[in-house]
């Protein structure tokens, strides 16, 4: 993993098929750019994201993980993302207790919001990069 | 595992930022990969042949196709596997175009990323298990929401093809906004005549049921068998529709939102739509001074409407020509940002209107102030950099199209998506402009963004044609991505049952384990993420699939 | 608050009375030589131990195996054990119908590793004993969140004037209390055990500390087996689902070169931390069970209290409270969205 460290943070994202994954497709179609360290896994609904996946990704070397779904109230599966919000909010609290603030993010991105998708993931990438660069100096 | 990896160049689309040759060579060294190759267009016939031949020759049991995003060409590749005798759920699609080559410019980094994405897909696919698609019968009926010109065209097309049509219109009369249009450019025909013919034909068909002053209040099920509740005054009807065309139209922009225009406060300030509807402007002198404002309610960030409404420039030209025709000595001045007379013949029409003596001033009007003698317009001429102030007898606002406020309710009911302006969003901006993300639900007309009459008719027919193709097959395959319980591992804690949104999980008191009611399961996977031991798993998205996909994404390549 | 002023004899009398009915059992503690164990009583209360400051396994772990709607069982246990029972009822692992739960004021218990001879059996003596033997206290008890007998159907509480009281919390509790022939009266005094103070600072650590403490872990998973809340009949970690395996693992080694095989210590403990985050009662069974003496309870109790706090949830407080991950409010947790 060491030789890879200089390439920038690695982010694994979980994106629901009906909203965020669609937005990421549209971002591609519109040739928007974002860092290559961001890689997306498609899940049917954000509620499919088992917190264990997030923990696994972090422990296997991801610098950050995001879970993204439809805006609350717009879930294709009616209420799935409300459950996602509870679970991921709790997991974020757990990460906070482990001083891993900022390594897990929860985004709502609708299928129409390609720009928002790119903005969210790029901001996360930059934050993690700054944090790591600051850590290196110390 | 005997996997074949097929990497698409997509012409230059992938190849120009991903070193596809290096990627395909890389995978030849990976255990379990029997064949790894790259080709210009994997979706083309020669490309398909390569896949079919490789499957047969190397006896492949996993196929990984790295190309465009999985929502494109899905059935095509699945059919290839079926044809070759491999279960179609042993196919893995990896998006290296929308998620790699198009979003990064650096060839080195993109090549690395493509390797990892494919590796993740390969690992994930190594756990795939064959699944059986369920074949369901498709009801040859369609729900058309909206009786405007695009809804009518869709309904008529489907009905002529023998599909049972339920047409739901919220108003008392069919025809939408088009029925008010007095003169449709360039044909000069009355809108009422155009929709009138359609309505007459529809009413004569026995396989069409029209519901006016009605709305859709309930919607459930899946493609082929949507259960629809239609409410008409206090009566409710439940019908089964195989598919849906949403053609709920638009609302004309209300200029009262911009108080500086003083619309609604003075008779001498009217909209193009007011005139079309036959609202008579006040009496004008023999040589009237008339101002026409373009882009009212369009391309206006201040009110959150940055889009161009596409129809209002031609409308503005049309009204200018009409006034010049009625009052040859009138003074007509148009205030515009750009004239976008995009339909065929539009530019020539613009020229012709200019030749009639209509003046065009570049620069939006800042405010409209009614006074006793006339209506004063103030603004800045952006070509000359001068501030203008002129008095007119009549001011006409060429208004744009806004999304219908009812779209939100409809979107939530049908589980389809709106864009930021409240119009329905297509599944793919270029390749699937009529589809929504939901199978069997199409959009037509100006509910998906401003369109003129001709475009709305075309859009309606195109959506109807796409839906007809699906309905006419008579059957459909339902994705087998539903939850499944391993009774040996289930602890019977019923957490999944408590959480399940579709109420598809039932507890078996005798065996003390849960079971899934397959017809009710929506396939979201919430139960899988809720079960601490993953005794209930979502087919197609099992823990091992996603777990190893994570590992692949993070591996050093 | 309405309750009954009781004493040891009266309570014992009521328990004996309960056992006289055929098919009725009592689950509690019993003495065997110098040891105290969990015991199921059928027709006598021989060796019954009421207030000893000791328990090894959380009684809920044992009781989980008793699954019957028909047999009536009275459980007289510590608050953390009753709270586990309540959570397990929510998780459908214990049938609530036949059971009556009785929680006792708990002054803390001695750790398995500490001296266990001469443990008192009187509640007030037990309290004094634990004050004197604080060094030998189970770590979980030193930071206990709920020592009061305020959970379950009935509570046995110690008053400040060294009198013993019983308070019913449910209809079942009232029914049992009716068998003690003492008039009900209003309790006006103070209790010996007050409400516990919450930690001002939420629990915080970092991955470095966590990993270094876990480096001793031998992955025996005894912590999981002894956890009353870890009820799964086939744990996710019985398999190797979450570790790279098969082709993926082989690939890794063939291309990366010689490497340690992944063991998944942090993964196991962190996933378990999340799994029990809403249901953990902080009883400390995990830490007592750990052959490597890893301070697990610090993490489990710390994380679970933080995460339960987000939803104003407390494990085992009330059987009617829904486990937070199984429900939601439409308008909540705005801060969680990035």
Q: Which regions of chain C are under pLDDT 70?
A: 199, 241, 244-245, 247-248, 251-252, 255-256
Q: Is the Cβ–Cβ distance between B39 and B50 less than 8 Å?
A: yes
Is residue C147 classed as helix, strand or coil in its secondary structure?
Answer: coil
Residue B508 contacts C, CB cutoff 8 Å: no
Residue B530 is part of which domain span? Answer: 483-538
Chain centroid, CA B114 distance in Å: 29
B254 in a domain, yes or no? Answer: no
Domain ranges of chain A: 9-128
Distances in whole angstroms, Cα of residue B35 to Cα of each of A21, B58, C34, C224: 29, 8, 71, 44
B556 in a domain, yes or no? Answer: no
Residues B86 and B208 in one domain: no
Name B521's Cβ contacts closer than 8 Å, sequence gap at least 6: B482, B483, B502, B504
**Hey, what are C320's tokens?**
């009617």
Cα–Cα dist A112/B58, whole Å = 42
User: Contact C206/A99, CB-based, under 8 Å?
Assistant: yes
- Closest Cα in chain C, distance from residue B30 (Å): 7
Residue A3 contacts C, CB cutoff 8 Å: no
B557 in a domain, yes or no? Answer: no
- Closest Cα in chain A, distance from residue C268 (Å): 9
Q: At what angle do helices B149-160 and B453-472 cross, to 10 degrees?
A: 30
Taking only the tens of pLDDT, chain B with its 557 residues reads 899 999 999 999 999 999 999 999 999 989 899 999 999 999 999 999 999 999 999 999 999 999 999 989 988 999 999 999 999 999 999 999 999 999 999 999 999 999 999 999 999 999 999 999 888 899 999 999 999 999 999 999 999 999 999 999 999 999 999 999 988 888 889 999 999 999 999 999 999 999 999 999 999 888 999 999 999 988 999 999 999 999 999 999 999 999 999 999 999 999 999 998 888 888 899 999 999 999 999 999 999 999 999 999 999 999 999 999 999 999 999 999 999 998 999 999 999 999 999 999 999 899 999 999 999 999 999 999 999 999 999 999 999 999 999 999 999 899 888 888 999 988 877 778 899 888 899 999 999 999 999 999 999 999 999 999 999 999 988 889 999 999 999 999 999 999 999 889 999 999 999 999 887 888 999 999 999 999 999 999 999 999 999 989 988 77
Residues B444 and B385 in one domain: no
pLDDT at residue C247 in the model: 66
Sign of the CA dihedral B416, B420, B425, B429? negative
Q: Is the Cβ–Cβ distance between B396 and B319 less than 8 Å?
A: yes
Residues B357 and B442 in one domain: no
Residue C233 contacts B, CB cutoff 8 Å: yes
Q: Is the Cβ–Cβ distance between B332 and B290 less than 8 Å?
A: yes
CATH no. for residue B510?
A: 3.30.70.20
Residues B125 and B227 in one domain: no
The conformation of residue C82, written as its DSSP 8-state character, comes to H
User: Contact B112/A36, CB-based, under 8 Å?
Assistant: yes
Residue C322 contacts A, CB cutoff 8 Å: no
Please tell me which of the candidates B31, B493, B533 has its beta carbon nearest to residue C235. B533
**pTM above 0.80?**
yes
B543 in a domain, yes or no? Answer: no
In chain C, the largest separation of any two C-alpha atoms, in whole Å, equals: 79
Class of domain A9-128: alpha beta
**Hey, what are B129's tokens?**
């298990």
Cα–Cα dist A45/B490, whole Å = 23
Cα–Cα dist C336/A32, whole Å = 27
User: Contact B522/A77, CB-based, under 8 Å?
Assistant: yes
Name B172's Cβ contacts closer than 8 Å, sequence gap at least 6: B212, B213
pLDDT at residue B438 in the model: 84
How many A/C residue pairs have CB atoms within 8 Å?
A: 87
B549 in a domain, yes or no? Answer: no
Cα–Cα dist B482/B518, whole Å = 7
Q: Which residues of A touch B100 (CB under 8 A)?
A: 36
Looking only at the bridges linking them, the beta strands covering B375-381 and B365-370 are antiparallel
CATH no. for residue B186?
A: 3.50.50.60
| Closest to A124 measured CA to CA, from A94, A104, A108 | A104
Q: Which residues of C touch B126 (CB under 8 A)?
A: 246-248
| Total domains in the fold of chain B | 4
Domain ranges of chain C: 2-186, 207-336
B133, B164, B190: which is the final residue of a domain?
A: B133
Residue B61 contacts A, CB cutoff 8 Å: no
Name B351's Cβ contacts closer than 8 Å, sequence gap at least 6: none
- Neighbours, chain B (3 or more CB pairs < 8 A): A, C
Residues B45 and B11 in one domain: yes
Please tell me which of the candidates B493, B551, B552 has its beta carbon nearest to residue C91. B493
Name B166's Cβ contacts closer than 8 Å, sequence gap at least 6: B141, B142, B143, B144, B209, B211, B228, B230, B239, B241
Is residue B364 classed as helix, strand or coil in its secondary structure?
Answer: coil
| Closest to B411 measured CA to CA, from B543, B542, B244, B541 | B244
User: Contact A53/B547, CB-based, under 8 Å?
Assistant: yes
């Amino acid at each position: 993993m060491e030789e890879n460290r200089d390439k920038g943070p690695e982010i694994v994202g979980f994106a629901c098929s009906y909203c965020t994954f669609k937005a990421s497709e549209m971002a591609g179609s519109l040739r928007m750019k974002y860092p290559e360290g961001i890689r997306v896994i498609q899940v049917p609904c954000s509620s499919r994201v088992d917190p264990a996946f997030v923990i696994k990704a972090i422990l296997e070397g991801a610098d950050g993980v995001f879970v993204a779904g439809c805006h609350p109230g717009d879930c294709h599966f009616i209420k799935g993302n409300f459950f996602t919000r509870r679970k991921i909010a709790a997991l974020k609290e757990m990460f906070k207790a482990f001083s891993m603030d900022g390594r897990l993010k929860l985004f709502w991105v609708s299928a129409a919001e390609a720009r928002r998708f790119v903005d969210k993931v790029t901001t996360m990438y930059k934050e993690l990069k700054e944090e790591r660069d600051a850590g290196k100096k110390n | 595992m005997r996997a074949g990896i097929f990497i698409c160049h997509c012409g230059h689309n992938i190849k120009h930022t991903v070193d596809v040759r290096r990627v395909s060579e890389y995978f030849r060294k990976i255990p379990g990969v029997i064949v790894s190759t790259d080709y210009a267009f994997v979706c083309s016939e020669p490309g398909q042949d390569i896949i079919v031949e490789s499957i047969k020759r190397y006896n492949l049991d996993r196929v990984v196709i790295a190309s465009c995003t999985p929502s494109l060409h899905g059935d095509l590749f699945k059919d290839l596997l079926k044809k070759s005798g491999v279960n179609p759920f042993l196919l893995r699609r990896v998006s290296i175009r929308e998620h790699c080559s198009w979003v990064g410019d650096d060839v080195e980094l993109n090549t690395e990323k493509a390797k990892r994405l494919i590796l993740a897909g390969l690992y994930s696919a190594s756990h795939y298990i064959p699944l059986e698609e369920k074949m369901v019968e498709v009801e040859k009926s369609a729900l058309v929401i909206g009786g405007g010109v695009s809804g009518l065209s869709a309904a008529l097309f489907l009905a002529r093809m023998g599909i049972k049509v339920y047409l739901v219109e919220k108003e008392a009369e069919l025809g939408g906004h088009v029925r008010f249009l007095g003169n449709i450019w360039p044909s000069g025909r009355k809108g009422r005549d155009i929709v009138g013919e359609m309505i007459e034909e529809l009413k004569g068909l026995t396989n069409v049921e029209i519901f006016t002053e009605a709305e859709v209040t309930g919607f459930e099920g899946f493609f082929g068998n949507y259960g629809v509740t239609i409410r008409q005054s206090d009566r409710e009807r439940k019908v089964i529709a195989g598919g849906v065309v949403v053609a709920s139209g638009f609302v004309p922009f209300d200029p009262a939102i911009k108080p500086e225009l003083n619309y609604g406060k003075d008779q001498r300030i009217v909209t193009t739509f007011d005139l079309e509807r036959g609202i008579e402007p006040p009496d004008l002198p023999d040589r009237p001074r008339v101002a026409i404002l373009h882009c009212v309610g369009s391309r206006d960030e201040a009110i959150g409407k940055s889009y161009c409404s596409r129809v209002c420039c031609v409308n503005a030209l049309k009204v200018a020509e009409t006034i010049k025709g009625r009052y040859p000595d009138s003074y007509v001045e148009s205030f515009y940002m750009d004239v976008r007379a995009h339909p065929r013949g539009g530019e020539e029409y613009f020229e012709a209107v200019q030749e009639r003596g209509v003046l065009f001033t570049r620069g939006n009007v800042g405010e409209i102030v009614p006074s006793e003698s006339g209506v004063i317009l103030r603004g800045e001429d952006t070509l000359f950099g001068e501030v203008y102030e002129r008095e007119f007898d009549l001011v006409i606002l060429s208004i744009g199209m806004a999304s219908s406020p009812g779209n939100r309710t409809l979107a939530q009911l049908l589980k389809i998506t709106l864009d930021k302006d409240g119009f329905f969003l297509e599944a793919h901006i270029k390749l699937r402009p009529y589809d929504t993300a939901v199978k069997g639900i199409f959009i037509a007309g100006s509910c998906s963004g401003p369109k003129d009459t001709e475009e709305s008719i075309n859009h309606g027919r195109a959506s109807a044609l796409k839906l007809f193709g699906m309905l006419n097959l008579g059957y459909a395959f339902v994705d087998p991505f539903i939850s499944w319980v391993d009774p040996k591992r289930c602890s019977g804690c019923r957490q999944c049952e408590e959480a399940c949104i579709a109420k598809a999980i039932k507890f078996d008191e005798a065996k003390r384990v849960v079971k899934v009611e397959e017809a009710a399961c929506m396939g979201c996977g919430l139960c899988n993420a809720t079960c601490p031991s993953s005794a209930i798993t979502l087919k197609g998205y099992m823990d091992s699939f996603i777990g190893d996909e994570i590992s692949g994404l993070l591996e050093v390549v | 608050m309405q309750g009954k002023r009781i004493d040891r004899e009266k309570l014992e009398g009521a328990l004996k009375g309960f056992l006289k009915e055929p098919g009725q059992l009592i689950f509690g503690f019993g003495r065997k030589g110098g040891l105290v164990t969990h015991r199921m009583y059928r027709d006598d209360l021989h060796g019954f131990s009421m207030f000893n400051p000791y328990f090894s396994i959380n009684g809920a772990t044992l009781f989980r195996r008793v699954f019957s709607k028909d047999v009536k069982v009275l459980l007289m246990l510590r608050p953390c054990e009753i709270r586990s029972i309540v959570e397990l009822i929510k998780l459908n692992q214990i049938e609530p119908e036949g059971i009556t739960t009785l929680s006792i004021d708990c002054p803390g218990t001695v750790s398995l590793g500490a001296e266990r001879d001469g443990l008192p059996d009187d509640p007030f003596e037990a309290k004094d004993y634990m004050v004197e033997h604080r060094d030998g206290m189970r770590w979980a008890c030193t930071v206990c969140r709920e020592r009061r007998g305020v959970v379950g159907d009935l509570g046995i509480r110690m008053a400040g004037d060294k009198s013993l009281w019983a308070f019913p919390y449910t209809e079942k509790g009232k029914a049992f209390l009716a068998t003690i022939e003492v008039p009900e009266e209003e309790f006006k005094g103070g209790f010996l055990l007050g409400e516990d103070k919450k930690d001002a600072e939420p629990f915080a650590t970092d991955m470095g500390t966590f990993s270094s403490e876990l480096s001793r872990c031998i992955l025996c998973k005894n912590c999981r087996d002894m956890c009353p809340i870890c009820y799964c009949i086939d744990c996710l970690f019985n398999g190797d689902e979450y570790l790279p395996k098969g082709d993926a693992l082989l690939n890794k080694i063939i291309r990366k070169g010689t490497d340690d095989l992944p063991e998944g210590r942090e993964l196991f403990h962190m996933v378990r931390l999340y799994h029990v985050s809403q249901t953990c009662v902080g009883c400390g069974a995990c830490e007592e069970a750990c052959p490597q003496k890893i301070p697990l309870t610090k993490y489990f109790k710390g994380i679970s209290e933080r995460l339960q706090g987000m939803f104003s949830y407390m494990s085992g407080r009330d059987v009617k409270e829904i486990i937070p991950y199984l429900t939601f409010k439409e308008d909540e947790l705005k801060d969680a969205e990035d």
